[in-house]
Amino acid sequence: MATATLLACDWGTTNLRAWTLADDGEVVASRDFPFGVARLAAGEAPARFAQVRKALGAREFPAMLCGMVGSNLGWTLAPYVDCPTGFPEIAAGLVDVGDRVRIVPGVRAAGFNGQGDVMRGEETQLFGWLAAEPARAVGRRLICHPGTHAKWMAVDDGRLTAFVTAMTGELFGLLTAHGVLKTDAPADDMAAFDEGVAAAGEGDALAARLFTARARVVGKGKPAESTASYLSGLLIGADVAATSRLLDAGERDPVVLLGDVGLCGLYARALAARGVACEIHDGEAAVRAGLLALWKAVA
C-alpha cells in the first residue's frame, strides 16, 4: 500500500470531500464531511479542518484546499486570479494559512457586458486535467464542467482564456422543487429528454420555452411524470446551444466534459443532437490531480 503524503480537499458550499494521496496521486483514504462553507460559523473553518485531519490520520500532512473555502464564507479570502491565466499564476496565488495548509485561489473573467464571471474549484479540476497528459496543453479546447453552476471554459495552449457560467443545474433544481412544474418523478425518460433538447432551439427565449413544459402536459396530454426529463433536456439543450456558442464550440471540437459522469452523459447526448463530438472525463480524479500538481509546484 502506498504511503500518503498529502491531504487534498475539495471544500465546497455544501460538503467537504477529503483524500489522502500518495506522491504518485494514488488515493490512500477518502472521506466526505457535511460541513460545506455555507454551514460554517465565522472563524469555524480551522477547528472543522482539525476534525478532517484527525479522521483521516493526516495531522502532520501538508494540505491543499480548493473551492468555496477560499471565499469570504470560508477559511480566508483567497483573491481571484484574473483571466486569462494558467497553472503558474494559480500556483503563485496559493494562500498559505499556516499549519501547512494552502488554499487555491478562484478565477475571475470579464463575463457578459463586463458584469464579470467567477469560479472557485473548477480551476483546480481544469488544470489537473490539463496536467495529467502533456498533449492536453496543446491546441484550442472547450471544456465544460456541468452542474448547479455549469462552467464552460475556453483553453488555448493550456491557458484558460475565457469562461462562462450557466445556472443550468440551479434552474432545474428550483423549477422541479417549487412552482408550477414541481415534480417528484425522476428524470429518467430519455424520449422526453430528447423532446426537451429539440424544444430548446438555439437557447433563445428560455423563459418562454420553459412554459412548454407545462403546456405539453395541460394542452397536449403528455404525462406529467415526464416533466423532469423534458425540463432536463430543455435546460441542458439550451445551455449547450447558447453557452457553448459564446466560446466558439464549433472551433473547439471535440468538447471535453469534465465532472459527474452521469450528468456528463446527458450533456454528451445534447451535444450529439447538435452534431458536436465530445469526450467524458471524471471530474473528481481531475480535482485530485490538480491539488497534487499545485502542491508539487510549491513544495
Residue ranges in contact with a second copy by CB under 8 A: 71, 80, 108, 111-113, 115-118, 149-150, 164-168, 170-171, 173-175, 177-180, 198-199, 201-212, 214-216, 218-220, 235, 238-239, 242-243, 246
CB of 210 to a second copy, least distance (A): 5
**CB-nearer residue toward a second copy: 27 or 206:** 206
Least Å distance between CB 265 and a second copy?
19
Closer CB to a second copy, 25 or 237, in the complex: 237
Q: How far is the CB of 85 from a second copy (least distance, A)?
A: 14
Determine how many CB atoms are found less than 10 A away from the CB of residue 219. Answer: 9
Nearer to a second copy, 25 or 146 (CB): 146
**Spatial distance between the Cα atoms of 177 and 171, rounded to a whole number of angstroms:** 10
Cell of 80: 481571484
Smallest distance, Å, CB 279 to a second copy?
23
Give the DSSP H/E element, type plus range, for residue 92.
helix 87-92
At a CB cut-off of 8 Å and minimum separation 6, what does 254 contact? 276, 277, 278, 279
Dig out the grid coordinates for 162 from the structure. 475565457
Q: Which is closer to a second copy, CB of 20 or CB of 165?
A: 165
Helix (H) or strand (E) holding 289: helix 283-298
Q: Which is nearer to a second copy, 52 or 78 (CB)?
A: 78
**Rounded CA gap, 68 and 265, in Å?**
26
CA 63 – CA 20 distance, rounded (Å):
9
Shortest Å distance, C-beta 82 to a second copy: 10
Q: Is the separation of the CB atoms in 197 and 233 below 8 Å?
A: yes
